[in-house]
Structure 1
Amino acid sequence: MNAITITSKGQITLRKELLAHLGVHPGDKIELEKLPDGRVEIRPEKKAGKIDAFCGFLKREGQKPISIEEMNEVIEKGWAGEL
Structure 2
Amino acid sequence: MPTATVTSKGQITIPAAVRRALGLRTGDRVEFVALPDGHVEIVPATRSVTSLKGFFGPQPPQVVSLEEMDRAIADAAGQAEA
Report the TM-score, using the length of structure 1 for normalisation.
Answer: 0.49
Q: Please state which structure has a larger fraction of its residues in helix.
A: 2
Greater Rg, structure 1 or structure 2? 1
